[in-house]
Amino acid sequence: MSRGSRSADGGAGGVLFGLVTAGTLGYLYLTPGGGAIRRAMAGDVQAIKERDPAARGIVEVVTCYSGLHAIVLHRIAHSLWQREVPLVPRLISQLSRFLTQIEIHPGAVIGEGFFIDHGAGVVIGETCEIGDNVTLYQGVTLGGTGKETGKRHPTIEDNVIIGTGAKVLGSITVGRNAKIGAGAVVVQPVPPNTTVVGNPGRPVITDGARVGVADIDYTHLPDPVAEAMKCVVRRMVQLENELEEICPPHKKRMENQRAQLDDEICNLTGFFQGSGI
């Protein structure tokens, strides 16, 4: 490609970017729909300042947070989508995907105070409905389970937190104040005030107290598998002790194997504390 051709392409790209920027600013400041978007943007900025300790000021938030850029572009695209403007909303969503690595279909309905932390790899499907004060971490997918039509993506109610890499699939509802742990795969409805972990997602019901907006603690998420293992080990130790009392030869054999068994129990203890198998 000649230098002249590259210069022409660069000039055309600059003109296109300028037109998109001018059109966006005109829409935001000269139309009623743009006013509603600006009010929602103010709530999104405030949510970032409240939930991210790394946010040091409004200028930094506005200029450096790709999650905010993605939601601003989505709100513009969604407004045009509601007015049945052809093609343009999808082009805006693709531009947002290119710039932020966050893919939000313009048909998705998103409430106020929405926060995507870091955000790379987040995917939000067309029929998703997201309430107020929802927090997503990087790699989250709110997707479908196949080629069904109609409502095929999740409904996320208010004050929900979805951890890194979690997948919420299908036309299910995640109730208010729920938490979904990192890496969970959720294909069943989640009741309100519930923490879900694992693959497939397993709920751990709380005592009904309101779950905090942004206090998810990844190092102390409950693990139903580990709890079941604890129960099995306790029962086995109890049975061994009872058998030693009624069968002295067994007790003698166990003494020879005690060191190896103690090491195995120590390994299981590590599993209970989250170190894996």
Lowest mean pLDDT, pick from 20-29, 98-107, 164-173: 20-29
Specify whether 264 is located in the same domain as 148: no
Contact (CB, 8 A) for 271 and 277: yes
Q: How many domains does the chain have?
A: 2
Share of the chain above pLDDT 90, in %: 31
Specify whether 58 is located in the same domain as 186: yes
Specify whether 261 is located in the same domain as 177: no
In a domain, 2, yes or no: no
In a domain, 250, yes or no: yes
**pLDDT at position 213:** 43
Share of the chain above pLDDT 70, in %: 71
**pLDDT at position 55:** 82
Specify whether 166 is located in the same domain as 117: yes
Is 132 a residue whose pLDDT tops 60? yes
Specify whether 209 is located in the same domain as 77: yes
Specify whether 37 is located in the same domain as 152: yes
* pLDDT single digits (tens) 136-182: 999 999 998 877 788 999 999 999 999 999 999 999 999 999 999 89
Write out the residue range of the structural domain in which residue 139 sits. 31-220
* pLDDT single digits (tens) 46-75: 888 888 888 888 888 888 888 899 998 999
* pLDDT single digits (tens) 252-267: 666 666 666 666 666 6
Specify whether 233 is located in the same domain as 212: no
Specify whether 123 is located in the same domain as 229: no
The pTM (predicted TM-score) of the whole model is 0.68
Specify whether 248 is located in the same domain as 173: no
Specify whether 165 is located in the same domain as 45: yes
Specify whether 229 is located in the same domain as 197: no
Cα–Cα distance for residue pair 189/201, rounded to 1 Å: 10
Q: In whole numbers, what is the pLDDT of the chain averaged over residues?
A: 79
